């Protein structure tokens, strides 16, 4: 009896699986090409007019492939300002997207996001303490303070989660508590210590900003994203098993608690590094994993690379749009991601309501 029903079902599912498998190979390749084109195109945008040919010449000159004469001003704009900014934007989009995909899988919550763990609020507090109180200023700097604050906030989340039993769903509640605590501490520090100029600068950074990023920021972000993505891909089959629940994963021989703790730490550290450079950028980790799942399916061996590339392309263009929308004054990139992410978030809510 069951065999009679399995045949047609399998026949119907097979073409869909083949299409998803083909998409899993095609989408990353196409997205990689689109990302390269997007970085070059975004580098041409800004108050000063720079052509794609000039971007190519500057890039090949610095790579030692050519020696084409280029204006000093154009070389400085492309190599020292716009290209590092576009590459950092790509790293931020890739890292936050992958972190969101991991958290949604581990917590089995389609609305999970890296910032639900309170990392953004912790980074904000760290930045404010460094900026207003001068704790480690010069040696640590704004980004270093944000990084330390993010790690402290995540440590608090892990501690709370462990105290209440170590269940994945309670990590979200612990993250909410951590977010509220560190947001309150940030507001208190601004109210107590900031003058008008300091408040303006810090608030701009808190909204998400890629102003002033340099090649060392590119290196830090790229290393964090590559290592984080590699660590998650090594556990991609474990993540596939988590979709069926902890009990099923355990019966397959997966050390559930250890894998969950490892991947939570990896995603938190990647997010902390990115937030320390870019400030608070929301909705990337929430929306992009769903777009990738729609294109390549839920298997993490295909999902994570696709999410990384889609997130990178998304952030490059959001940053480019934010940079030129109110030129010469740049719009905080976190505002741009929110303007795109909020409608997508609402769509996810309605989609979840219809599937109940």
Whole-number pLDDT of residue 339 = 87
Tell which wins on pLDDT, 119 or 185. 185
Terminal CA-CA length for the chain: 30
Residue 356 pLDDT exceeds 80? no
pLDDT in tens, 299-334: 999 999 999 999 999 999 999 998 888 877 888 898
Lowest mean pLDDT segment, chosen from 92-96, 142-146, 240-244:
142-146
* Separation of alpha carbons 117 and 172, rounded Å: 6
Residue 275 pLDDT exceeds 80? yes
pLDDT confidence tier of residue 18, bands split at 50, 70 and 90 = low
- Structural domain contains residue 1: no
Q: What percent of the chain has pLDDT over 90?
A: 31
CA 123-278-132 angle, to 5 degrees, is 50
Tell which wins on pLDDT, 65 or 164. 65
- Structural domain contains residue 8: no
Here the tokens at position 259 are 């894998």
> 168-193 and 119-133 helices cross at what angle (nearest 10)?
20
Q: What is the DSSP string of 261-316?
A: HHHHHHHHHHHHHHHHHH----SHHHHHHHHHHHHH-S-HHHHHHHHHHHHHHHHH
Whole-number pLDDT of residue 168 = 56
Find, among 96, 34, 32, 37, the residue nearest to 337 by Cα: 96
> Do residues 289 and 345 touch, judged by C-beta distance below 8 A?
no
Question: The domain that contains 111 carries what CATH number?
Answer: 1.10.3470.10
CB atoms within 10 A of CB 150: 30
Question: Torsion-angle region of residue 297: left (phi > 0), alpha (psi -120 to 50) or beta?
Answer: left
- Structural domain contains residue 85: yes
- Structural domain contains residue 135: yes
Lowest mean pLDDT segment, chosen from 3-12, 134-143, 170-179, 269-278:
3-12
Find, among 226, 249, 258, the residue nearest to 108 by Cα: 249
pLDDT in tens, 155-205: 888 888 778 776 556 777 888 888 899 988 988 888 887 777 777 777 777
Burial category of 149 from C-beta neighbours within 10 Å (exposed 0-12, middle 13-18, buried 19 and up) = buried
Tell which wins on pLDDT, 233 or 348. 233
Tell which wins on pLDDT, 43 or 112. 43
Q: What is the mean pLDDT of the chain?
A: 83
- Structural domain contains residue 246: yes
Whole-number pLDDT of residue 48 = 82
Whole-number pLDDT of residue 354 = 58
- Structural domain contains residue 58: yes
* Residue range(s) defining the domain that contains residue 116: 43-349
Find, among 62, 79, 131, 160, the residue nearest to 279 by Cα: 131
Here the tokens at position 248 are 């099923």
Number of domains forming the structure of the chain = 1
Q: What is the DSSP string of 187-200?
A: HHHHHHH--HHHHH
Find, among 115, 125, 246, 105, the residue nearest to 183 by Cα: 125
């Amino acid at each position: 009896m069951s065999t009679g029903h399995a045949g047609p079902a399998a026949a119907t599912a097979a073409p869909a699986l083949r299409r998803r498998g083909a998409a899993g190979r095609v989408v990353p390749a196409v997205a990689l090409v689109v990302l390269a084109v997007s970085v070059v195109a975004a580098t041409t945008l800004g108050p000063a007019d720079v052509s794609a040919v000039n971007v190519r010449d500057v890039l090949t000159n610095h790579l030692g492939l050519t020696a084409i004469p280029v204006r000093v001003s154009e070389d400085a704009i492309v190599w020292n300002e716009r290209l590092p900014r576009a590459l950092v934007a790509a790293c931020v989009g890739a890292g936050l997207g992958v972190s969101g995909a991991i958290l949604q899988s581990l917590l089995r919550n389609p609305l999970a996001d890296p910032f639900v763990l309170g990392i953004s609020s912790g980074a904000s507090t760290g930045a404010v303490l460094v900026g207003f109180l001068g704790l480690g200023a010069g040696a640590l700097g704004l980004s270093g303070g944000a990084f330390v604050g993010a790690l402290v906030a995540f440590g608090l989340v892990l501690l709370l989660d462990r105290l209440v039993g170590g269940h994945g769903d309670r990590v979200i509640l612990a993250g909410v508590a951590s977010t509220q605590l560190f947001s309150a501490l940030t507001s208190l520090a601004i109210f107590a210590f900031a003058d008008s100029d300091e408040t303006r600068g810090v608030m701009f950074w808190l909204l998400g900003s890629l102003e002033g990023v340099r090649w060392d920021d590119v290196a830090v972000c790229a290393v964090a994203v590559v290592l984080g993505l590699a660590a998650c891909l090594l556990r991609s089959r474990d993540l596939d098993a988590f979709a069926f629940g902890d009990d099923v994963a355990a019966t397959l021989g997966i050390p559930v608690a250890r894998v969950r703790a490892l991947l939570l730490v990896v995603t938190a550290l990647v997010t902390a590094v990115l937030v320390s450079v870019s400030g608070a950028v929301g909705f990337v980790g929430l929306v992009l994993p769903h777009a990738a799942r729609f294109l390549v399916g839920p298997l993490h061996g295909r999902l994570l690379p696709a999410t990384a590339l889609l997130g990178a392309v998304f952030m490059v263009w959001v940053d480019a749009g934010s940079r030129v929308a109110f030129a010469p004054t740049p719009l905080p990139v976190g505002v741009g991601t929110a303007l795109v992410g909020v409608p997508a978030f609402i769509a996810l809510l309605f989609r979840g309501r219809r599937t109940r």
